[in-house]
Amino acid sequence: MTEREKTVRCIVSGRVQDVFYRATTADRARELDIRGWARNLADGTVEVVMCGTDASVATLCAWLWEGPPAARVTAVRVEEWSGTTGDGFGVR
């Protein structure tokens, strides 16, 4: 039996731009075999859309609170996502 997949959109707030947040998120997502993307938003937050097994999505969601060493995360808002993610994990 294959594990069920889950797709979520996360908005990460704090000092998350210009600290390699998207790149390190992409590296971690690829390690976890998660599809999706990370991109900067105009308001200074980072959007992370991810699709993978329940366990891998939960692991990456927890990691988003940590991020790379220079990041200072103050909030991670998680919501269900019904869009498509395509193949692989990219930085936009």
Walk me through the domains of the chain, giving residue ranges and CATH numbers: 5-83 (3.30.70.100)
Label residue 45 exposed, middle or buried (CB < 10 Å: 0-12, 13-18, 19+).
buried
Please give the C-alpha separations between residue 13 and each of 3, 18, 87, in angstroms, as whole numbers. Answer: 30, 13, 26
22 is catalytic: yes
For 49, the 3-state DSSP assignment is strand
**pLDDT the model gives residue 69:** 96
pLDDT digits (tens, 9 = 90+) for 33-87: 999 999 999 999 999 999 999 999 999 999 999 999 999 999 999 999 998 888 9
Amino acid at 35: R
Full-model pTM? 0.94
Catalytic residue among 4, 9, 15, 22: 22
Catalytic residue among 28, 40, 72, 77: 40
9 is catalytic: no
